[in-house]
Structure 1
Amino acid sequence: MTTTAPEQTAGPATGPPGEAGLRVVPARHPWRWAAGATALVLVAQFVHGLATNPGWDWPTFRAYALTPTILRAVGTTLQLTFYATVLGFALGAAVAALRLSRSPVLQTIAWTYVWAFRSIPLIVQLVFWFNLAYLYRRLGLGIPFGPVLVDFDTVGVLGALGAAVVGLALHQAAYAAEIIRAGVISVDAGQREAAAALGIPRLRQIRRIILPQAMRGILPNAANEIISLFKATSVVYVMAIGELFYQVQVIYGRTGRVVPLLLVATAWYVLLTTLLSVGQYYLERRFARGTDRIPPPGPLQQARELVRRAAARPGPPSPSGGRP
């Protein structure tokens, strides 16, 4: 004799049916929604204060944001950043190579360089290089501890802009050396051993095997350093160089409009830092190809994905059971 279990009827479904006719109830996150709503309210209050508080003085901001003086100052800031980045990372690569060498003398020299330039504040280094002519009125080339073959006046060679570039580059090189060294040693030693066993020349090992893998670890930190260097160019105001922050100080010292002029500098720093961050994102994606550590999609990719999902979402079923 066989018995059959009575059929079980499910209640009203609140979501698409799952396996075995079970209801699929989506997870609810009330605190997440509450936190999001609170954050949106705070952001809305901040934006409302920016728009309505007369203390921000937006007319003065609009009057000075794109003046030729400010644009020239932005160009000087970018020039300082470019030269200091190129020279700093070139010298940093050389210092990193010395630190990775097997010579204890070269390792000690490289370590001392990194230790010294990371210990001294940047503003102190810049003031020192700006006053280099006080210590060495003339610089020359010749035989060590012997006669000088060619000499020249220090002031004529190293002006204010040159001293700023030298100071920024030497300071940047100390950090760039550690970033590059960290990226190189992050590559598994077996990669180098396998390449050496195959008879691949050392320079080709570095160019084709080590550096492409090391760049995945170098790029994020290097981009952070470049962005920090871009903002650190504001320190050269002590050398009376017409970069962005110095020109803003000159203008608000003459007009007395401190807040809107600081907003002008802030807007330019935010805009250019955003462009650098976008470039960093795409460089990281390029060097992350073939790995599982691809950066998450950016805002534009996320927006496109939301639009694609909304367009592909099926409509509600019709009363007859089919699609409308």
Structure 2
Amino acid sequence: MLETLGEDKPRLRLRRPVDYLSWVLTVGLLAGLAYTLVTNENYRWPVVLEYFTAASIISGIGITLILTITSMVLGILLGLVLAIMRASSQPPVSALARLYITFFRGTPVLVQLIFWFNLAALYPRLSIGVPGTDISMPVNVNQLLSPMTAAIIGLTLNQAAYMAEIIRGGFAAVGRGQLEAAESLGMHGFTKLRIVVIPQTMPSIIPPTGNQFIGMLKETSLVSVLGVADLLQSAQSIYARTYETIPLLIVASLWYLIMTMTLSVPQSMIERHFSRSTRVPRSSRSATGTAARPVLEVAPKESLL
């Protein structure tokens, strides 16, 4: 069997017995799995189809998506601030960011969610006012921190710690020489950020950010312990009444799988878009088959205005 590799050079690949054996084992495993899924009546597929589009399940999907998008957006913004603080030349600022990242990455998300939900046990009432005046507004923490609010706060603060390290790693991908060259050409502020920094950091930031987004979608299932009516909590409330535990868990798993696969499509498109700057055209490859080193080309100063 002829295959093309590298610079369109054909290569003959000989089939070995282990290749056929691996195919036989894989097909046999999949066939056995499909057979048990179809023939085992304990899966209760009619019940799965009955509740797959139930109103409470669809409502739980909406809550799950709201939690995911809100926590990710706020987590990215807070992570950007933490990444800048982490790279600060001021030791107290950098130490504070390090402490935050260490704490929120070193404790389980479930523990953080339960802690924020029970914050009123530490601070039942807070007072927001102007120092030195009598202007103040009492806040009932127990009423303010609803299950939904506690879930968003917990997921956001945890996500920000991971995003801070991802963004900091992206900034580290830009060499100092690149920044100095941009400044020597008269680029400052947003122009330098748009032309030099962002194109080089995105290929490093987008893939782990996409993975974090998908991971956040699945981590939202933890908020069910707070009583938030997300997808998992909706499924649990149904099988608590009907005792159809396995079919409802299958419904929740299928919806999580569908949402994960759906989110993977735009992630791949964004990755391909921002990886164009790192691709090397075939014509630029050397005769030895190695890619030529990419060179940053910057338009003249007049075209940047």
* Matched position secondary structure for 1:41: helix
Report the counterpart of residue 39 of structure 1 in structure 2: 26
- CA distance, structure 2, for counterparts of residue 108 and residue 145 of structure 1: 31
Note the C-alpha offset of 1:143. Answer: 4.8
Matches within 5 A, 1:86-105: 86-105=73-92
In the alignment, which of 71, 76, 80 is matched to residue 84 of structure 1?
Answer: 71
User: Which of these two proteins has the greater Rg computed from alpha carbons?
Assistant: 1
- CA distance, structure 2, for counterparts of residue 188 and residue 167 of structure 1: 35
- CA distance, structure 2, for counterparts of residue 293 and residue 265 of structure 1: 43
Matches within 5 A, 1:21-36: 27-36=14-23
* Matched position secondary structure for 2:252: helix
Report the counterpart of residue 194 of structure 1 in structure 2: 181
Matches within 5 A, 1:124-163: 124-143=111-130, 149-163=136-150
Report the counterpart of residue 230 of structure 1 in structure 2: 217
Report the counterpart of residue 70 of structure 1 in structure 2: 57
1:165 aligns with 2:152: yes
Comparing 253-262 and 167-176, the one that deviates more: 253-262
Note the C-alpha offset of 1:26. Answer: 5.7
Report the counterpart of residue 273 of structure 2 in structure 1: 286
Name the aligned partner's letter for residue 231 of structure 2: L
Note the C-alpha offset of 1:146. Answer: 8.0
- CA distance, structure 1, for counterparts of residue 223 and residue 12 of structure 2: 60
Report the counterpart of residue 182 of structure 1 in structure 2: 169
- CA distance, structure 2, for counterparts of residue 271 and residue 293 of structure 1: 35
| Paired residues, number | 273
Name the aligned partner's letter for residue 110 of structure 1: A
In the alignment, which of 235, 243, 254 is matched to residue 241 of structure 2?
Answer: 254
Distance 1:63 1:218, change over 3 A: same
Name the aligned partner's letter for residue 146 of structure 2: G
* Matched position secondary structure for 1:290: helix
Distance 1:107 1:52, change over 3 A: same
* Matched position secondary structure for 1:51: helix
Comparing 129-138 and 60-69, the one that deviates more: 129-138
Note the C-alpha offset of 1:244. Answer: 0.9
Following superposition, which runs of at least 4 residues in structure 1 exceed 4 angstroms of deviation?
Answer: 143-148
Distance 1:25 1:224, change over 3 A: closer
Matches within 5 A, 1:195-210: 195-210=182-197
- CA distance, structure 1, for counterparts of residue 100 and residue 191 of structure 2: 28
Q: Is the 8 A contact 2:114 2:226 kept in 1?
A: yes
Name the aligned partner's letter for residue 253 of structure 2: T
What is the TM-score of this pair, normalised by structure 1?
0.79
* Matched position secondary structure for 1:140: strand
Q: Is the 8 A contact 2:82 2:164 kept in 1?
A: yes
Name the aligned partner's letter for residue 200 of structure 1: M
Q: Is the 8 A contact 2:43 2:246 kept in 1?
A: yes
- CA distance, structure 1, for counterparts of residue 208 and residue 223 of structure 2: 23
Name the aligned partner's letter for residue 187 of structure 1: V
Q: Is the 8 A contact 1:237 1:246 kept in 2?
A: yes
Deviations 1:190-245 (A, max 9, x none): 21121122231133322331122111011111111111111011111111111111
Name the aligned partner's letter for residue 184 of structure 1: F
Q: Is the 8 A contact 1:92 1:177 kept in 2?
A: yes
Q: Is the 8 A contact 2:127 2:137 kept in 1?
A: yes
- CA distance, structure 2, for counterparts of residue 209 and residue 183 of structure 1: 12
1:107 aligns with 2:107: no
- Which residues of structure 1 form unaligned runs of 5+? 1-13, 16-23, 295-324
Identity %: 38
Note the C-alpha offset of 1:153. Answer: 2.1
- CA distance, structure 2, for counterparts of residue 144 and residue 105 of structure 1: 25
What is the TM-score of this pair, normalised by structure 2?
0.84
Distance 1:146 1:108, change over 3 A: farther
Report the counterpart of residue 242 of structure 1 in structure 2: 229
Distance 1:157 1:202, change over 3 A: same
Matches within 5 A, 1:205-224: 205-224=192-211
